[in-house]
Structure 1
Amino acid sequence: MRFARSTAAAAATAALVAGVITSLASPVNALSLPLKDSASVTSPSALTIADKQGVLDRIATRITQNLTEGDRAKIPGFTEIEVDPIHNQLRLHWKGTPPKRVTDILAHLPNGITAKIIPARYSKADLHAARDKLMHGGRPIDLHIRSESTPIRITTMGGAVDGSGLEITYASASGTAARESLAPAVRKERSREVKALADRLTGISTTANYKPVPDMAPPAAAPASRAPSAKDGSAVQNTRLWDMPAWTGGAALRTPTGSLCSSGFGIKNEKGQNMLTTAAHCNGNDGLWRTYGGNTAVGGSDGREYDTSVDVQGIDLPQPEVTGKLYDGPAKANWHYVKPITGPAQNYIGDYVCEDGANGGVHCQLKIEKTDVGTSGSGGWWRPIADLACTGGLTSDKSGCATPSSTDDIAGVNGDSGAPVFRGVNNFTADEARGTLTAFDGEMPGSTAEHHENSCSASEKSDVVDTTTSSGTPWCFPGLYYVPIRQTLAIMNWTLVTGQ
């Protein structure tokens, strides 16, 4: 949903039912922790869902010792943590008995918050060890099964949320992202063979489901003359399409090869130089970047501030001022609307985030369904740690985002690659940095993995900046993978520039 529509929805649900929210039905062997009387952060009835998420995230950060998604495997016994701002609840999956440090936190929760500790078969450390047995040289190994002469390619891999095992998706190792046409019985048998092999190689329980390589799909080159304009025909500067120094995230960039991608966050590299980020897969290595509308030079990239494992590159800025802010609103807005970035933050399953794409504008109400997932992409690159956010829930086979019921319910549009993922804070007057868009996931009603022509609603088609694709129409998706911002900052030795 676009930001303007999602804020209206948020306002309609701003105040939940007053009083203490009771526990959900307990799973078998789950321990419901009684609440201790303690001072509430504020009256539970006065908190919006966004506020509740903020409180739950702060508690989750204490439990996870402020460690990033992958590094949480360093916590003995820890498997996963889920936040549920709708029910004001935390669900903690743990192998064995949590330490006193954790139980003390859960025993002194603010009024109105409940928590559950749910026993897990495997810890995150167990799942990482199993995952590593399927890796070589920084990427997954090809799998060889009896029924196939062609190797099987792992497309995503990560631990199940409940710690029941390792979840794997696969495709043909031919390198194509197109969906293979297989009879259901044939695909079921192939998945059974892949699972049996993965079980044997890892030594733990796995699930295996077919899934093509996640889509990246930046559009092809568009005419250089295309530029935003106001109603009187004059060019509009300081907008997404025609950004100017100081540079702002979420702007539309013309890549060195002429396609459209998004600017990400303003950062300082280890030398203290200001740079603007975007996705590494946007083909910007050794080239000049321009604003998409005004065709104004932004800066160059030369491969020095570049890493495919987090799918990011830094653009060197001759005019190195960055605002520490993000554009907001529709992609083709001819007015200047930006919000300050408050800083980087952690991601937790159950959080709601927004995508700030240059081609499709802002889309919010995306729920994080998985964290710490390895995912493949174009060029055979492997992102070892990414998070998955969907407009709906997971499919029944846990392979990714479900097909939504409406073409209005999207996570983003092709050409949004490199876009910031954020959470609105301070009553949506500021943005909390969460990560950088690397790939899309899932299929919209009426589309398939090979044919995206019918994937966008009429309103989305009218809102996008560039429709230049192989089919001549924009491609919309219900889910996305993004690399967590703290993972990127740590790998690149960067510091986030904030606007406050």
Structure 2
Amino acid sequence: MLVFPTPRRRVTPLALIGVTTLAAVLAAGAAPGAAAAPRPADVSSHIAPAGKGKDGDDPAEDKPAETSDDPKAGSNAAAEVMRRQEPLLDAGLAISELDDGGLGGLRLDVPKNTLHVWWRGDVPAKVKDAIERFRAADGIRIEVGESRYSQRELLKATEGLSRRSGDLPELVGVAPAVEGSGLAVYVNPQILVTITLEMLPPGSTITEMPVVQQVSRGFDIAPWWAGSVAQPVNGGPVCSTGFAVEKRFLGIPTESGVIVAEHCAPGGGVAFDSGSGIRIGTAGAPSTLPKTDSLYVRAPGGSAARIYDGGVGVGEFSKPVVGVTGNLPGQYVCTSGAATGAHCDVVINLTNFEHVLAPSGIVVRSSLATQQQGRPAVGLGDSGGPVFVVTAADPGKVKAAGMINGGVLQTNCEGFGSTCFVQVTFTNIYYVQAAHDVYVKTS
């Protein structure tokens, strides 16, 4: 099974945006004016009020409208491409589940309705049968090629090089190449590079890239939704809430909370407040499962299976979360952080990308994705926020894909935020669930 697929070949120099520097980016918070902007009335009827707004009014009057019919608003603009990609994504994830060790890589090419599959050695009969079923049932193209290595082999090599990051200060990140051709290694051009191709598996590449910066909606109330402001009370940087999650015993929910980025409060054990100063809850200790950059915040006031969509303070609405999905190269996703709002047309370049977040030094295993028009994918203050896909059956609903942790390649913000980035790094949602033994809440 391909848990965290990966891409890519040699690229031009990049600048990772991470969650901006822990202090600088996350301290950025919401966009100017967000605090004063009134929230539209909530037309949702299935979310029971669980607290009061900052002025003591009913939370139903403070939450943004449930949905938006504007086809250009927020993630609604991604509805058509998400509809076209869904059969490709389903096929890719199903094939990865059949991997017995030979899978070299997977990549979606949504514009061409094609799924690329690379395999080391002979393709097993069960995989060939699955490919033919998907071709016949969904009318998609599936092209199969040979890979030099398997993803499992390259993931071991990735972890081995990542463990040496303390001795290799120039190392920004490393991932398996999407075609299984070797390692894709990224180095900081401002530091003397001692890594050579001779140190890497044949077929690997070395590319210059700036370090990944940590990046951290306005004034939410319980039950907490994904994409609102979450600020540690110890004076740490302003970040965003991730997906609402719950713990279970024998399948029965026992408590609920939200996910946040660990670099917002390294080591955990810190309380988080909303943008209006209402206590969300206290983060537990980091998971023993490494490289997730995540914390679980237990929320006594409850959390709900919804995300903020649209802008920040202006043009806000929300959507229900109805499931979770994996990450594959070529996949389109959307992001929605408290500082810069929703961004779509963001395509995954790499998975299993191990990198260091500056300045916290936290090592993370991420997916790396790029906004296709060079517009913002994320900005300072968005750390911890949701990464998601819109469902094909109903663009008013979403599936959880990950949690924002960083960004690369600075660009001008468009309407919200002060510092934005073309690329985003995020943690696979399945990895976050496993790290804290929680389940994303769905409706």
Shorter-chain-normalised TM-score: which range?
0.7 to 0.9
Describe the shift of the 1:250–1:132 C-alpha distance in structure 2 as closer, same or farther (beyond 3 A).
Answer: closer
Tell me the distance in 1 between the aligned counterparts of 2:305 and 2:312.
Answer: 19
- Residue 65 of structure 1 is matched in structure 2 by 97
Q: Tell me by how many angstroms 1:253 deviates.
A: 2.0
Cα distance in 2 for residues equivalent to 1:6 and 1:367 = 20
Of 127, 144, 153, which residue of structure 2 is paired with 1:102?
127
Secondary structure of residue in 2 paired with 1:83: strand
**C-alpha offsets along residues 314-350 of structure 1, whole Å, 9 cap, x if unaligned?**
122232x211111111012376x22111111111111
- Name the residue aligned to 2:173: 156
1:36 equivalent in structure 2: none
Instruction: Give 5+ residue unaligned stretches, structure 2.
Output: 1-67
**What does residue 199 of structure 2 align with?**
198
Whole-Å separation in 1 of the counterparts to 2:142 and 2:119:
13
For residues 370-426 of structure 1, what are the alpha-carbon distances to aligned partners after superposition, in whole Å with 9 as ceiling and x for unaligned? Answer: 11111111322111x31111013xxxxxxxxxxx65xxx110110000000000113
Look up the match of 1:480. Answer: 424
* Aligned match of 1:291: 274
Give the aligned partner of residue 416 of structure 1: 382
Compute the TM-score of the two structures, normalised by the length of structure 1: 0.67
Structure 2 match to 1:121? 148
Structure 2 CA distance for partners of 1:259 and 1:416, relative to 1, 3 Å: same
Q: Which amino acid aligns with 1:64?
A: S
What is the SS of the residue equivalent to 1:342? strand
In the alignment, the residues of structure 2 paired with residue 429 and residue 483 of structure 1 have an alpha-carbon distance, to the nearest angstrom, of 24
Matches within 5 A, 1:172-187: 180=190
Q: Deviations over 1:152-193 (max 9, x none)?
A: 43211111111111111123xxxxxxx62x8xxxx8xx4xx5
1:134 is the counterpart of 2:100: no
Which is worse superposed, 3-12 or 409-418? 3-12
For residues 475 and 9 of structure 1, what CA distance do their matches in structure 2 show? 19
Relative contact order, CA 8 A, sep 6+: which one is greater? 2
Q: Percent identity?
A: 23
Residues 304, 99 of structure 1: alpha-carbon distance in 2 compared, 3 angstrom cutoff:
closer
Residue identity matched to 2:408: D
Q: Tell me which residue corresponds to 2:261.
A: 279
**1:119 offset after TM fit, Å?**
1.1
Letter in 1 for 2:307: L
Q: Given that residues 78 and 345 in structure 2 are in contact (C-alpha distance below 8 angstroms), is that contact kept between their aligned partners in structure 1? A: no
**CA apart distance, 1:198:** 2.1
TM-score, normalised via structure 2 length: 0.76
The equivalent of 2:211 in structure 1 is: 213
Cα 1:111–1:128, aligned 2, differ >3 Å: closer, same or farther? closer
Contact 1:80–1:93 under 8 Å retained in 2: yes
Alignment of 1:313-328 (within 5 A): 313-319=295-301, 321-328=302-309
SS at match of 1:140: coil
Contact 2:271/2:282, CA 8 A, preserved across alignment: yes
- Report which of the two has the higher share of strand: 2
Name the count of aligned residue pairs. 366
Check whether the contact 1:279–1:313 (CA below 8 A) recurs between aligned residues: yes
Counterpart Cα distance in 1 of 2:382 and 2:83: 28
Farther off after superposition, 305-314 or 259-268: 305-314
CA contact (8 A) 2:310 2:342 kept: yes
What CA distance in whole angstroms lies between the structure 1 residues aligned with 2:399 and 2:219?
Answer: 24
CA offset at residue 93 of structure 1?
1.0
- Structure 1 residues 306 and 75 mapped into 2: Cα distance closer, same or farther (>3 Å)? closer
| Deviation digits for residues 184-210 of structure 1 (CA, Å, limit 9, x no counterpart) | xxx8xx4xx5223523xxx44321223
Provide closer, same or farther for how the CA distance between residues 62 and 443 of structure 1 changes in structure 2, counting only shifts above 3 A. Answer: same
Deviations 1:420-465 (A, max 9, x none): 0000113321110000001101233xxxxxxxxxx33xx42xx33x
Question: Please, which runs of 5 or more residues in structure 1 have no aligned partner?
Answer: 15-47, 67-73, 144-150, 172-178, 219-239, 393-403, 445-454, 465-473
Alpha-carbon deviations, 1:219-267, whole Å to 9, x = none?
A: xxxxxxxxxxxxxxxxxxxxx4221221111111232215321100111
**Aligned pair in 2 of structure 1 residues 134, 86: CA closer, same or farther (>3 Å)?**
same
Conservation of the 8 A alpha-carbon contact between 2:74 and 2:311: no
In structure 2, the residue matched to 1:268 is: 246
Distance change (3 Å), C-alpha of 1:334 and 1:116: closer
| Distance in 2 (alpha carbons) for counterparts of 1:83 and 1:210 | 25
Q: 1:348 to 1:331 in 2, by over 3 A?
A: same
Output the aligned Cα RMSD.
2.8
Range moving further from structure 2, 158-167 or 204-213: 204-213
**CA shift in 2, pair 1:9/1:246, >3 Å:** closer
2:257/2:303 contact within 8 Å kept? yes
Q: What CA distance in whole angstroms lies between the structure 1 residues aligned with 2:280 and 2:72?
A: 32
Is this contact kept in 2: 1:6–1:365, CA < 8 A? no
